Structure 1
Amino acid sequence: MKNLFKKQSRALLVGIASLALLTACGNESDNTAEKTATEWDRIQEEGKLTVATSGTLFPTSYREEGTDELTGFEVEVVKELGKRLELEVEFTELGFDEMLTSVQTGQVDMAANDIEVTEDRKEKFLFSTPFKYSYGTAIVRKDDLSGIKTLEDLKGKKAAGASTSVYMETARSYGAEEVVYDNATNETYLRDVAIGRTDVILNDYYLQTLAIAAFPELNIVIHPDIKYSPSEVSVVMKKDNTELAENVNRVIEEMIEDGTVAKISGEFFNGADVTKKVDIEE
C-alpha cells in the first residue's frame, strides 16, 4: 500500500511538473508571438511610419531651393509606400552613420537614403526588395583627373564621404585617406574636390551624374574609365522587425510591378529607370 502511494505521488509530481513546463512553454510562445507583432501593431496603432533620411543627398533626399519641402527619389517612394500602407510618414533628417544606428536602436522604423545592400549589413538589418540598381563611379578634378587612372591610384589620395558607406570602404581598401563630413551638402563635397581640398568622391553613378550637372561651373568630372561594384539599393529596417518588412516588401513589389517606382525614377534621374539591373565590366 505504501509503495502504491509513493508511485501515485511520484506520478502526480511528474504530471504537475510536465503541466508547468507546458504552461511555461505556452507562455513563452505567446510572448514571442506578441513580441513579433508588437512593432507592426504599434506602427498601425499610431498610424505613423518614422523614416530616417539625410535631406541633403540630391536627388535621393533633399529640399528644393526656396522651399522647405523634403523631396527626392526615395522620399517620394517612401511617401507612396506609406500611402498604400495607410500610414502617415514622418521623416527625421540625420547623417548617414546616425541613421543606421537609429534604425538599429529602434528610434526610427526605417532608413531611406540610397543605402546599398551588403552582406555585412544584412547581418545587422533587414532590407526591403531592391528598387534601384546602379554601380560605383569616381568624381575627380577635370583638369588632371586628380592624378587617378585606376582604383589602385587611390592610395594616398583624400577621399570624401560617409565613414560607413560602401564607397568609403572601397576607398580605404585601396589605401585612400578618408575625409568625413557631418551630413554636408553635395556642393560642399564637390567644391572641395574642385579646389583640391580633397581628391575624389566615390559614389553611385546616377547620383554622381546629377551632382555634376547641378554644378557645371566646378572643375570636376566623372572619371571616364572607373566603373565598379554593381549595387542594389533598398530601405533598411531593424533586424527583428519582420512583420513590417513583409508589408513593406509586398507594397514595394506592387509599386515596381505597376510602374510606379519607374515613374518616380524618371522624374528625378532625367528619365532613367533605375529599377532595371545594370551589367558592367569591372
Structure 2
Amino acid sequence: MENETMPFFKTAAAVLTTGLLLTACGNGDGNETASDNDTGGEPSSWDEIEESGVLTVATSGTLYPTSFHDEDEGLTGFEVEVTREAAERLGLEVEFTEMGFDGMLTSINSGQVDLAVNDIDINEDREERFLFTDPYKFSYGAMIVRPDDFSGIETLEDLEGKKHGGAATTIYMQIAESYGAEGVTYENVTNDTYLRDIENGRLDVVMNDFYLQSLAIEALPEIDVVIHPDLFYHPNNQAMIMKEDSHELQEQLNRVIAEMMEDGTITALSEQFFGGQDVSQEPDVDFDDE
C-alpha cells in the first residue's frame, strides 16, 4: 500500500507514533540522495544502468518501517535495504531520490529514476501502465477498535454509520465509505491522535495495513484499543515498480529477489523492520469479502 508520507523523526520510537495510519497507497547521506527538482531524460536501459553502475530509485524516506531516517539521519527501512541488497547482487550502487508518492510514478516515466519502492501495491490499473518485480511483501487490511465491544463491528456490513478516521483519498477510506461508514478526515496527524479518538469515541474504527497497525499499537500500549481479531480484508502485495518497457531490468531484479527469498535475506530484513514478523510469506488468513 502506497502509504502517505509522515514528518521526519530521528528515532524509530518516535517514527512509530507518526502517521502510519494515514495510509492507503510512499538517504543515506547527502551523497546518496538527489533532489526532488532533478529532471531526467529517457529512462535508462539495462545496458546503460549496468554501464553506469548506478540504479536510481525513488522513495519517500518518511514511511516507517519501509523507508525512513534512523537516529543517525541515514536512510534505511525494509524496502530500502531490500533494494540495496538487490543492487549489490547486480554489481550496482543505489542513488535514492526522496519524494512524495504522487511524484514517484511521474519520475519513473520521465526518466528521473529507474524504479520506485514505497510499499506500493500491485494492482490491475498500474500493471497496465508499469512493470512490477515479483512481490516480496504480502499484507492485508485490519481494523483498530475499542476492546470492550469491538466498536459494535462484527462484520464489514456493520461499518454502516460508524465513524472511520483517515486521509481522504486512501484505499482504506474508500473501503470504509463503500460500506457506509462516515469518513472523518485527518491531515498528517500522529498515531496517538487516531488511537485516542477511538478510545474516547470520536472515532469507531481506523482501517489500515495489519502490520503497520500492529506496530502502532505496540508503540502505544497505554491507549486502550485493539486490532479486531476476526475481520481481515483487502489482501494485497507490494513490489518494485518501473517503466513498462524496462523488461530486462525487471528480469535482473526478479532473479536476485528470488535468490534473496530463497536464502532467507528478505525474511531476515522483514523480521528486523517489522518486529519479528515475516511479511515475505503470504498470510494464512481468512478474508472477508469486500
TM-score class, shorter? 0.7 to 0.9
> Is 1:261 matched up with 2:266?
yes
Matches within 5 A, 1:183-198: 190=195
Q: Identity, % of aligned pairs?
A: 58
Q: Which residue of 2 aligns with 1:241?
A: 246
Q: Which residue of 2 aligns with 1:213?
A: 218
Contact kept, 8 Å, 1:54 with 1:96, in 2: the verdict is yes
| SS of aligned partner of 1:116 | coil
CA deviation vs aligned residue, 1:44-81 (integer Å, no higher than 9, x gap): 343322222232322222223x3201222111111111
> Is 1:54 matched up with 2:60?
yes
> Is 1:128 matched up with 2:133?
yes
Provide TM-score, normalisation by structure 1.
0.73
Matches within 5 A, 1:134-173: 134-142=139-147, 145-156=150-161, 157-161=163-167, 163=169, 165=171, 167-173=172-178
2:53 and 2:187 mapped to 1: Cα distance?
Answer: 31
Q: Which residue of 1 aligns with 2:87?
A: 82
| Greater percentage in helix | 1
1:169 and 1:148 mapped to 2: Cα distance?
Answer: 18
1:111 and 1:160 mapped to 2: Cα distance?
Answer: 24
Matches within 5 A, 1:63-142: 63-64=69-70, 66-142=71-147
Q: Which residue of 2 aligns with 1:25?
A: none
Structure 2 unaligned spans of 5+: 1-41
CA deviation vs aligned residue, 1:188-213 (integer Å, no higher than 9, x gap): 65566556665533222222211211
Distance change in 2, residues 1:178/1:44 (3 Å): farther
Q: Which residue of 2 aligns with 1:14?
A: none
CA deviation vs aligned residue, 1:132-183 (integer Å, no higher than 9, x gap): 2222111234566455433223345333147254x34423432445566677
Q: Which residue of 1 aligns with 2:37?
A: none
Contact kept, 8 Å, 2:141 with 2:207, in 1: the verdict is yes
Distance change in 2, residues 1:95/1:110 (3 Å): same
Contact kept, 8 Å, 2:59 with 2:98, in 1: the verdict is yes
The residue identity in structure 2 corresponding to 1:39 is S
* Residue correspondences, number: 246
Matches within 5 A, 1:173-184: 173-178=178-183
| SS of aligned partner of 1:114 | coil
The residue identity in structure 2 corresponding to 1:81 is A
- CA shift at 1:94, angstroms? 2.8
Contact kept, 8 Å, 2:43 with 2:112, in 1: the verdict is no
Provide TM-score, normalisation by structure 2.
0.71
Structure 1 unaligned spans of 5+: 1-35
Contact kept, 8 Å, 1:57 with 1:186, in 2: the verdict is no
Contact kept, 8 Å, 1:139 with 1:208, in 2: the verdict is yes
Matches within 5 A, 1:219-230: 219-230=224-235
1:55 and 1:183 mapped to 2: Cα distance?
Answer: 15
1:245 and 1:152 mapped to 2: Cα distance?
Answer: 40
Larger mean CA deviation between 104-113 and 201-210 belongs to 104-113
Contact kept, 8 Å, 1:37 with 1:243, in 2: the verdict is no
Matches within 5 A, 1:5-84: 38-64=44-70, 66-84=71-89
Distance change in 2, residues 1:180/1:73 (3 Å): farther
RMSD over equivalenced CA pairs, Å? 3.0
Distance change in 2, residues 1:200/1:107 (3 Å): farther
Larger mean CA deviation between 122-131 and 175-184 belongs to 175-184
